[in-house]
Structure 1
């Protein structure tokens, strides 16, 4: 599997925040770092996906040399690989393109949802907070891993 960063986002139209979660795993599949953050709701689920990727990249750049990202959102991958075909996402994609400069071999690819469960749980849990939240650590804290009431 290699040194990878799995990421996901969670959003609904009925809450104030969207959530994103990411997990950095080493080549042995061991979790090295997890992160989660909420942010104001975006205009669409795809805008939230792009925002979640940007935040994951920024955090990984500070804490790891990982350059390989995985998401279960095929539309996000299409936007990253051909940004010029998505003019309504130009501003968001430009930010991500500027972050690419920091990587010697950035790549993003698809991972099935079943292999992205930790990121998904982090994103859903963080979305449910009623105040700003940003967490980075070596494991998921008890207060974040509680069963979800969705």
Structure 2
């Protein structure tokens, strides 16, 4: 449903912000407005809670605020990295792949289900 090639970001926080915006766009395309976004990045949660306090991310925050209007209410939560083991395992595995690809959908693909069991 949502696959996108990855481009190089200015920083890891920029990449996480871009990924959140992209995930929001995917959910908008699917017309799913009741979503709880989750991240293991506490800085990202702080950023979207107080977007005007992050001047280096002005462009990203403008785009985020436009996307946020679709979600009523908008919810993002911080998950400890220790509790996010599957996503962490997938991220480490993705670094070993020859091509970078990101995937978002409401139904997990078979390869993801197989990762859960290993």
Per the TM superposition, whether the score is higher than 0.5 is yes
Larger RCO (CA under 8 A, 6+ residues apart): 2
Where 1:70 maps in the other structure, the secondary structure is strand
Higher helix fraction (1 or 2): 2
TM-score by length of 1: 0.61
Relative to structure 1, the CA distance from residue 134 to residue 111 in structure 2 (aligned partners, 3 Å threshold; closer, same or farther) is closer
* Superposition TM-score, scaled by structure 2 size: 0.75
Work out the number of aligned pairs and report it: 113
Distance 2:27 2:39 in 1: 15
The answer as to whether partners of 2:27 and 2:33 remain within 8 angstroms in 1 is yes
Contact 1:49 / 1:76 at 8 angstroms: preserved in 2? yes
Matched residue, 1:66: 34
Q: CA RMSD in A?
A: 2.8
Q: Distance in 2 between matches of 1:127 and 1:62?
A: 28
Structure 2 distance, partners of 1:114, 1:36, is: 26
Instruction: List runs of 5+ in structure 1 lacking aligned partners.
Output: 1-33, 146-150
In structure 1, what is the Cα distance between the partners aligned to 2:72 and 2:96?
36
